[in-house]
Structure 1
Amino acid sequence: MSRVGKKPVTVPSGVTATVDGQLVKVKGAKGELSFLVPEEVKVVLENGAVSVNPRDTSKAARSKWGMSRAQVANLVEGVSKGFEKRLEINGVGYKAAVAGKMLKLTLGYSHDIDYEIPAGVSITTPKPTEVVVNGIDKQKVGQTAAEIREYRGPEPYKGKGVKYSDEFIFRKEGKKK
C-alpha cells in the first residue's frame, strides 16, 4: 500500500480542479496545469479533494499510484503557490545577469554562457552571485536549475562553481608536501 497515494489531495480555495477521464486540470491564481494520469490508476474528484487509487493490485498499478498522487499534488501547489529554486555562484569573477530572455553567466571560461530562459519559467538575479528560478511547473523549475548548475558544478577543493543554496559541498583536503 502506498502511504503517499492513500492521502487525497485537498484543493484549496481559489483553485479549481476538474477530472475528465484520465486528465486532471487544475486552475489557480498563477496559471493552469494539466496531467494525464496513467491508465492503471483511477482519479476521482469528491468533496473538494482529488483522490487517486489503483485499478487493481498489479505491480504496475501500485508503482504508478503514489507517483500520480504526487504529480496531482504538485499541480495544485504550483498554481496556488508556485515553486522556487535558489542557486549560489562561488568563485572570483563568477557572476550572473539577466538580459531580456537570456541569462548571461560568467563562470571562468574564455567566453560568457548565454542561457535562454525557457517558457513558463522566470529567472531573477537579486545579487550577481545569486540566481532565483521561479515557475508553476515543478519539473520545469528543477530542470532549468539543474541545467544552469551543470555549466560549472561545485568543485570539492575550494567550492567554486554553481550550487543550490541548500546544498552542502563536501570539501577535500589539498595536496601535502
Structure 2
Amino acid sequence: MSDIQTFSPLAAEYPRMAAAGYLFTNTTAYAPGSDKVGHIRKEQTLDRLEGRLCNVEYMAHAMDIFDTGASVLPLNREGRRQFDYFVNGRGKAILGLLYVALRRFQRENRRDALRAGLAMLVASEDGIISVRDAVNAMAPDLIQMLDGFDDEREKALTRAAQIEDQRLA
C-alpha cells in the first residue's frame, strides 16, 4: 500500500496547501510529480507556506480589485488595509505585487504556478532571490507597472518631465 493518502491529518492541518494542489503523507507534503527528495519535511516550512496562502486569502478581494477592477469575493476591510499597506508602503510595494501574482494564479486555477510562486516567495524571504526577480518571473506586467512610478509614487516619466521643465525655467 502506498504511503500517499487521499486524506491525511496533515492535509486537514494545511487546507490552503491542499487546495493549492499539494499532496500529503502522514508526515510530509509535496508537490505533484516530485520525488521523495522533494518532500517538505520541516513543519516550519509547511507553516510558512500555509501562512502565505492565508495572506493571499485575507487580501484576495483587494488584490482582485487592484488587478482586474472587480471581485466576486466579499470585502474584507482588514485585508484591504493590509494590502494598501503593502502597495503604498515605502519599499513594500514589490511584496504587495508578489501577492497579486500569487492571487492571479489562484484565481486562474493555475495551481502549478501558484506552488512555484510560493517557492519563489520563500526563496526571496530566505535571500536566495530578490522579491523583484520573483515578481518579474511570475508577472512581468506588474514590474512594468511598478517601474512607471518613482519613490513618491508619482508617474516617473511625468515627474522627470517636471524636473526637466524646472531646469529650463
- Which of these two proteins has the greater Rg computed from alpha carbons? 1
- Report the TM-score, using the length of structure 2 for normalisation: 0.30
Normalized per residue, the structure richer in helix is 2
- Report the TM-score, using the length of structure 1 for normalisation: 0.29
